[in-house]
Amino acid sequence: MAQALHWFDFSRFFAEVERVLAPGGLFAAWCYGLGRVTPDCDRIVDDLYHGLDDYWFPERVHVENGYRDIPMPFVSLDTPGFDMRLDWTAEQMIAYLRTWSAAKNYQREHGRDPIDAGVAALSEAWGSGARLVVWPLALRAGYLAPAD
């Protein structure tokens, strides 16, 4: 499961997973954190992100915690660190930031896009051309223990 576990009713969801997963079967869920570019770009993205703290859905905390706080009824497995990497322009990053649910929630309430506040600064810090954006991935995995 990718970037969705935090939206589910955990007890109902995991009851269904346990019902359909064979003993010894693997369950894995991952999510991604904030994309990292350069310290200057990251500060601007972090300011935009935290400036929207009141507009994120409460479930976002599970993503921020890398799903570590979600109780799972499986034998937990250690997982390696991963990341996702893309070469993006400033325009691509800004378009992505505009998709944040908190930005959409803010826009519905205030009638303006909160990402606009950081566009000039991010574009300047970014410079021209593409830069590598690295998103840390958090992976939780475990297997269903065989019945006794």
| CATH code, domain with 28 | 3.40.50.150
Nearest to 4 by CA among 57, 79, 47, 74: 57
What's the structural domain count of the chain?
1
Does residue 38 fall inside a structural domain?
A: yes
Distance CA 104, CA 98 (A): 7
Q: In the chain, pLDDT over 90 holds for what percent of residues?
A: 95
What integer pLDDT is reported at residue 74 of this predicted model? 94
Q: Is 115 exposed, middle or buried (0-12, 13-18, 19+ CB in 10 A)?
A: buried
Distance CA 41, CA 44 (A): 5
Given a cut of 80, whether residue 148 has pLDDT beyond it is no
Given a cut of 80, whether residue 11 has pLDDT beyond it is yes
Give the range of the structural domain holding residue 77, as residue numbers without chain letter.
Answer: 5-143
Does residue 22 fall inside a structural domain?
A: yes
Does residue 73 fall inside a structural domain?
A: yes
Token pair listed for 27: 């369950």
Mean of the per-residue pLDDT values of the chain: 96
Confidence of residue 141 (pLDDT cuts 50, 70, 90): very high
Does residue 39 fall inside a structural domain?
A: yes
Distance CA 119, CA 116 (A): 5
Given a cut of 90, whether residue 147 has pLDDT beyond it is no
Does residue 74 fall inside a structural domain?
A: yes
Distance CA 4, CA 35 (A): 18
What is the DSSP secondary structure assignment for residue 96, as one 8-state letter? H
Does residue 148 fall inside a structural domain?
A: no
| pLDDT tens string 66-123 | 999 999 999 999 999 899 999 999 999 999 999 999 999 999 999 999 999 999 999 9
* Residue spans of alpha helices (H) in 52-115: 60-64, 90-97, 101-110
